[in-house]
A and B are shown apart, each in its own frame.
Chain A
Amino acid sequence: AQSVTQLGSHVSVSEGALVLLRCNYSSSVPPYLFWYVQYPNQGLQLLLKYTSAATLVKGINGFEAEFKKSETSFHLTKPSAHMSDAAEYFCAVSDYKSSGSARQLTFGSGTQLTVLP
């Protein structure tokens, strides 16, 4: 079974500061990895995804993430935080069930990002 660990359920940064949200995964096969963002009272939106191409993945709103196989990590970064980045962020890993016919996603527990003025 695959799993995802997000270190830090709450992260606070000042506006303009670096954002770093941590994600570690476990997988017995090369994973597909995703970051989703959830704004208050909304569903999840895809920020970026890693599907075994370039290890540095760029997403929307200036976010990027780097896949590091040796560290089993997929941390999310943004050089300069904006107030509008305040949201909850979820890391997810794909999991193909041999008994089914559809890939499933396993989500981390989420990190709430607060941006301070």
Chain B
Amino acid sequence: NAGVTQTPKFQVLKTGQSMTLQCAQDMNHNSMYWYRQDPGMGLRLIYYSASEGTTDKGEVPNGYNVSRLNKREFSLRLESAAPSQTSVYFCATVPKGQFLSYEQYFGPGTRLTVT
């Protein structure tokens, strides 16, 4: 069991370039989430997907798009990267049936720098 995997681990982009961050899980979890982590700000929710086929905006969705490709995969796309999107991006999942306990399982993160 790999758990939650994220690719790439590191990425440097120039302003205006686009890229897709990939997240995959092999735990058969229903809900998936994308966060960004910035110093002194904790984690902020970008988008989430409650189940396959649905996506919703979180706290900071501007400049991002997401796709829930299937139950396993949830991708985050930056169409035109900006320096303000320099951050560490985390994917997280929640199993079906854990509604009350709501523990999230996190991937190792993607460190993105936009110059």
Contacts and interface: CB of A to CB of B under 8 A. Distances in A.
A108 B51 contact: no
Interface in B32-71: 33, 40-45, 48-51, 54, 56, 58
A104 interface: yes
Interface string A90-116: 100010010111111101111000000
B56 A94 contact: no
A74 interface: no
A43 B4 CA distance: 10
B112 to A, nearest CB: 14
Contacts of B8: none
Given A43-B90, A102-B50, A104-B58, A9 B106 contact: no
Interface residues of B, number: 29
> Most chain-B CB neighbours within 10 Å: which of A4, A100, A102?
A102
Interface residues of A, number: 26
Contacts of B103: 34, 46, 49
B108 interface: yes
B31 interface: yes
A42 B4 CA distance: 12
A4 B41 CA distance: 11
B42 A109 contact: yes
Interface string B17-38: 0000000000000010100000
Given A44-B90, A49-B103, A110 B42 contact: yes
A45 interface: yes
A46 B93 CA distance: 13
A106 B101 CA distance: 15
B106 A51 contact: no
> Most chain-A CB neighbours within 10 Å: which of B42, B56, B106?
B42
Interface of B: 4, 31, 33, 40-45, 48-51, 54, 56, 58, 90, 92, 94, 99-104, 106-109
Interface of A: 4, 9, 32, 34, 41-46, 49, 51, 90, 94, 97, 99-105, 107-110
